[in-house]
A and B are shown apart, each in its own frame.
Chain A
């Protein structure tokens, strides 16, 4: 459906796309668009807020910074990278989106994502739901004991916490320990039968990282560092994130 033509001023006023190009390897190929539309035709976000990936890129290329940066569409693109996958020129539109998220003042980014990021920064657990080290350890040990006491053949089931030198450090999304702890059990059983040498850690156990989605680089970095340190402190060889 044709809408009114977009009018642009004669002089290019852009700086946003140029700044992003400086950050990306090969400038993210952001100059190479053939306008074929393969990105938009296979993008589930096409049409939301009257936007699509090709339109966003073309508007950025035309210097329409104000128009694209005020759009909520940057929070509706999930940065799934299907547009890159189908693009003949491998243009990195998701990185353009990520950097557009960053242009909004921190407090004006979506409240849910902001709240989840802020909550994760409060504890070394990195839990976006605010679960503490003690709560997590209690829930895991309580659920494991319940299974050992009630299910025939599972008297030896372990869900180790802070096991020094385990091969695998396993992350856990906060939703299970906080709201549906029994959902953790099937994975423990599989690891048990497979003979895996694994552990949770009271620090850095939470798998989610909303600071990344919020494009808050400093907080994102902090969360990753806390988690990586937890893995190193326990001397684990592999870090498994089921997220």
Chain B
């Protein structure tokens, strides 16, 4: 949709803000299913919406990425201490990028990466990919910003109709 112009996105909004983003390669999508080509597609989308210079990759990444610890039922297993110990590797990986936002294109990853930031006081924010795509297009509604930090919470809010309409 981005390549054929149906989604008109760009990174102009972040040219001066220079908010840094990293991305989590979901094990299920990348290593276990479609491999490095889909990881490249993911980076194409992220770089397009946040700006090449504002994207910082984790190391290691793509098919070689570490699991965040949210998969395999771990989030529901009732073993939060073990799950967070497992996730410490992912937390350190994210912190090393210096990014203030981690984009997680997987539901399990979102829940786990978000929890890791809260638990270890990482200070980074965890967002779905679609949130940032819509933010970049100026179409992210006021109620659709739960996971944005204060720096982006008020940015590019689209027009809302008067209540008496």
B7 touches A190 (CB 8 A): yes
Known contacts: A85-B64, A150-B161, A210-B73. The answer to whether A186 contacts B134 by CB under 8 A is: yes
Q: How far is the CB of A219 from chain B (nearest CB, A)?
A: 13
B79 touches A152 (CB 8 A): no
Q: How far is the CB of A17 from chain B (nearest CB, A)?
A: 20
Contact of B31 among A47, A85, A183 (CB under 8 A): A85
B72 touches A190 (CB 8 A): no
A195 touches B63 (CB 8 A): no
Task: Closest A residue to B70 by CB, please name it.
Answer: A78
Known contacts: A110-B77, A113-B77, A116-B76. The answer to whether A175 contacts B107 by CB under 8 A is: yes
Chain B 1-17 interface mask (CB, 8 Å, partner A; 1/0): 10000110000000000
Query: Could you jot down 27 A-B contacts, CB within 8 Å?
Result: A42-B66, A44-B66, A44-B69, A49-B82, A75-B77, A75-B79, A78-B27, A78-B67, A78-B69, A80-B27, A80-B67, A81-B32, A82-B27, A82-B65, A110-B79, A115-B76, A147-B141, A150-B161, A151-B141, A183-B128, A185-B144, A186-B131, A186-B140, A193-B1, A195-B6, A213-B73, A214-B73
Besides A182-B144, A186-B134, 18 other CB < 8 A contacts? A42-B66, A44-B67, A45-B86, A75-B74, A76-B74, A76-B83, A78-B67, A78-B70, A78-B71, A78-B72, A110-B77, A151-B141, A151-B161, A173-B107, A186-B128, A186-B131, A189-B139, A213-B76
